[in-house]
Amino acid sequence: MDAQLLITLQNYGFSDKEARIYLTCLELGSSLASTIARRAEVNRWTAYSILQDFKRQGIASETIIDEVKYFSVVSPEVLFKKEEEKYEKMKSTLPELLAITEKFGNRPKTQFFEWLEGLKYVYKQVILSWEEMNKWESFLTFVWSSNIDSKLQKYLIEEFVPWRLKYKTPTKAIIDKKSLSEWYSKYNKDKHNNIIIDDPIFDIANEIIVHWKDKISILMYAPNEMCALTITSQTLHNWLKSMFNLIWKLYKKKHRW
């Protein structure tokens, strides 16, 4: 069976088994469900169920000869014509769908990511947000740099930090002093415009990044809980940004130099 044809049909929304059944029916013409199933290498009952679905969609027809059911499918021209009709029908509802998006579009959206690849994805999105926005837009982060997974630390040192330093984007970091690890001091602290808070009340334990126009990313990078949560919310973004800037302003005023 032609693999490329299978892929083409799957791109039109068929499952692998549906594509196999359709192509087999084209090859056989009118045939028994058991024969179609055998040639398509699909379970007989699954094949029969798919053929019944095809009938409901107008893709297949059923003929009874001597009390035996034979199935055949429409030609590719008819199939694709039906797909075009479905597309046009869907397209006609676009204004209504957009109206729903507009009505509920301001609700906060959350994305959850797990393990090393998940955190790397979030850091990549942070970098890409700088590329999309004006380079003067500050990158704000609350940082805890100890108890970090060694593989994530390697990624930050070898990939993320060099990538970030390619841009002249202003970078502000508020760092918990008790978490200030040797590797962070070496690779990050001097590259940030930062304040280091030495106060037991300040205990963030992870990293919180304020980025893009409306995103907050919370990254937990201890080996036993590595995950990240990105929240898209203009209200939350503006609130946390204002909190960051307030802490920054008060601390700088208190520690003038």
Q: φ, ψ for residue 232 (rounded to 5)? A: -100, 110
**Torsion, CA 173, CA 177, CA 179, CA 185, rounded to 10:** 60
**Per residue in 94-112, pLDDT tens?**
777 766 665 665 678 889 9
How large is the average pLDDT for residues 142-157?
79
Q: Can you give the pLDDT at residue 168?
A: 63
Q: Can you give the pLDDT at residue 141?
A: 85
Instruction: Of 105, 115, 104, 126, give the one whose Cα is nearest residue 216.
Output: 126
How large is the average pLDDT for residues 140-158?
80
In which residue are the tokens 């009952």 written? 45
pTM (predicted TM-score): 0.55
Band of pLDDT at residue 257, cut at 50, 70 and 90: very low
Distance CA 161, CA 155 (A): 9
Distance CA 33, CA 44 (A): 7
Three-state DSSP state, 185:
helix
Q: Can you give the pLDDT at residue 256?
A: 61
- Identity of residue 222: A
Question: Has residue 36 got a pLDDT over 90?
Answer: yes
**Per residue in 72-97, pLDDT tens?**
999 888 888 887 887 787 777 777 77
**Per residue in 113-134, pLDDT tens?**
998 888 888 888 887 777 666 5
Question: Has residue 227 got a pLDDT over 80?
Answer: yes
**Per residue in 204-218, pLDDT tens?**
778 888 888 888 999
Q: Where are the beta strands (DSSP E) in 180-237?
A: 193-197, 207-211, 215-220, 227-232
**Per residue in 172-195, pLDDT tens?**
888 877 766 666 666 555 556 777
Average pLDDT, the chain: 82
> What domains appear along the chain, each with residue ranges and CATH number?
3-74 (1.10.10.10), 106-254 (3.30.870.10)
Q: Can you give the pLDDT at residue 50?
A: 94
Q: What is the DSSP letter of 156?
A: I
Band of pLDDT at residue 251, cut at 50, 70 and 90: confident
Share of the chain above pLDDT 90, in %: 24
Q: Can you give the pLDDT at residue 23?
A: 94
